[in-house]
Structure 1
Amino acid sequence: MYRFLLTPRWLGYLALTLVAAAVMVFLGNWQLDRYRGRTAVNERIDAGATMAPVPLPDALPAPTAGPGSTGPAPAERITWTKVTATGRYDTSNIVLVRGRTVDSEVGFEVLTPLVLADGSAVLVDRGWIPPVPGGSATVQPQVPAAPTGDVTVTGRVVASESGGGAVDRRDGKLETRRISIPRIAKQLPYPVAGGYVLLDQQTPAADPAFQAVPIGHTNNWQNFGYVVQWWLFAAMSIFGYGWVARREARRAAGLGKPRPPVDRAAEPASSASA
């Protein structure tokens, strides 16, 4: 019944089905890797919220080159680790990161270099502030003054953002759209750590005008849904090939032909009507 499966046409159908199923399994495995990676990020975020802070050098190696250079980027397993550092804010090189959204409002994140005892610095994201009321998104807001003297910060290690764009200086402040540490570091007179610190706490206390930048968990369950989807499609393609082959085999054997309609008019009269 199934010898027809060895014909060139059906062998072609089989090859096409297997290739399609293999591609779908590959896509499912790729989404599974993304699910695992995003799950690990969420776990690091949760762990960073409750862990005791570690000294900054334990998470971010100090830069070793000259001014304007950037230290090594934090390892993936280090991101969102809670750290603490003490230094002095360099208020002459405040960085305004425009186009940042908090609670559906577009404003600015304010980064300020914290100069450490060894002469290097780490960028500290002090928080988010709204735009000037009635002004455009490009109007510089009034930035709360940073504490003078020694400042101790506690926050999470965040990796440099990809992309970038220009880092411009306007009215005494640097402006950018992305927190690209290598680009920002070129505008600064000291070496800069390869990751930045998203502020949780500060001594002396931070100005209440700052709003904490929320840390959003990644949507890992969306990737898990894609895993199920692609693997289900792969199984359905194999099942569909088998179903079509079985139907063809039954048709060839005459098992799938519909019965002809019965002509009631040609039937002999029953004894009951005689």
Structure 2
Amino acid sequence: MSAPETPDVERAAAAPAGWRFAFSKRWLGYLAFAIAFAIACGFLSNWQLARSKEAAAANALIAANFDSRPVPLAEELPSLTAYSPKQEWTRVTVTGTYETDKEILARNRPFNGSPGFEVLTPLRTADGALFIVDRGWVPTGSSTDAPDSVPAAPSGTVTVIARLKASEPAIPGRSATGMQVGTIQLSVVKQKLDGADVYTGAYGLLDSQTPAPASAPAPTVTDPPTQDEGLHWSYMIQWIIFALIGFFGLGYALITEYRKRNEHDPAEQARAAERARRRAQKRTDADVEDELLDASR
């Protein structure tokens, strides 16, 4: 037979556990995980805030530039490579002569859900440089490699008002042959034009031209792009809430284990009784009826 426990051992066994368990490796690991999760949520929240600011800046740029007073091209783009993202949608005016024999088609350009091409016509300016004007969109023809017809550009001297757009990047796997391009990448357009003096920083989306032709490609842009900042602010707040939920869950689990470990502590038993009394006070008549029905079954 084993020896009976001494009073000191009995008192140690009956002593309340307190909060000592919270400093164990297990709970410190939980805390480290909650902190790491909160930091990750913080980075994601900050990323959404940055996206929101970018969207707001883009909207402000559209509002400022889309219907701006046209500025002479040479003033807005003092060199062939000049262009700043802040100039997007800026309206410029330029006078010259279309070189229709050097016209290029940008392929795979959907418009209103239909496949087609955008017509890029070089405009020879007074100083001899070529400014690429996107005159609009034409649908794919009976042959998918070309449109059935392209409305001719006005002949002779023409004054064009266009909105500046940056040269597009290359898209892997998208290429074209002949007088077609996979994207409006102005360095490639320049090569197609045998290295002529071409504005390679930006091209122009046609807004209007004088004289106006009898027929023209469908304009690709007539109204400002939708100015929508999206749900970035909502997502930013959600990530902050997720971080708080992580700490709330950790605290709830900590308190639950404390109560379980200290269930024999008279002080904790008194607190448990008080919590039960408060829950009982919150019971409604419907709760009582449900309990009676459950008991009678």
Same fold (TM > 0.5):
yes
Deviation at 1:136, TM superposition (A): 4.3
Partner in structure 1 of residue 169 of structure 2: 162
Q: Mark the CA change 1:59 to 1:240 in structure 2 (over 3 Å): closer, same or farther.
A: farther
Deviation at 1:195, TM superposition (A): 0.6
Structure 1 contact 53–154 (Cα < 8 Å) conserved: yes
Percent identity over paired residues: 38
1:109 equivalent in alignment to 2:118? yes
Corresponding residue to 1:40 among 46, 54, 57: 57
Partner in structure 2 of residue 181 of structure 1: 186
Structure 1 contact 122–196 (Cα < 8 Å) conserved: yes
Residues 74-89 of structure 1 aligned to structure 2 (within 5 Å): 74-89=83-98
1:151 equivalent in alignment to 2:158? yes
Corresponding residue to 1:247 among 237, 244, 256: 256
Q: Mark the CA change 1:206 to 1:219 in structure 2 (over 3 Å): closer, same or farther.
A: farther
Q: What CA distance in whole angstroms lies between the structure 2 residues aligned with 1:106 and 1:222? A: 30
Partner in structure 1 of residue 232 of structure 2: 223
Gaps of at least 5 residues in structure 1 are: 64-70, 260-274
User: Would you say how many aligned residue pairs link Structure 1 and Structure 2?
Assistant: 245
What is the CA deviation profile of residues 41-77 of structure 1, one whole-angstrom value per residue up to 9, with x for unaligned ones?
Answer: 12222322322111213332322xxxxxxx13x2111
- Structure with the greater alpha carbon radius of gyration: 2
| TM-score, normalisation: structure 1 | 0.80
Partner in structure 2 of residue 263 of structure 1: none
Q: What CA distance in whole angstroms lies between the structure 1 residues aligned with 2:55 and 2:213? A: 31
Q: Mark the CA change 1:4 to 1:192 in structure 2 (over 3 Å): closer, same or farther.
A: farther
What is the CA deviation profile of residues 152-199 of structure 1, one whole-angstrom value per residue up to 9, with x for unaligned ones?
Answer: 111211111122443421xxxx11221111111122242222111111
Amino acid in the other structure paired with 2:187: P
Runs of 4+ in 1 over 6 A off after TM superposition: 256-259
Q: RCO higher in 1 or 2 (8 Å CA, sep ≥ 6)?
A: 1
- The answer to which structure has the higher strand fraction is 1
Corresponding residue to 1:236 among 237, 245, 251: 245
Q: Which moved more, 1:232-241 or 1:141-150?
A: 232-241
| TM-score, normalisation: structure 2 | 0.75
Residues 109-148 of structure 1 aligned to structure 2 (within 5 Å): 109-132=118-141, 135-148=142-155
Residues 62-73 of structure 1 aligned to structure 2 (within 5 Å): 62-63=79-80, 71-72=81-82
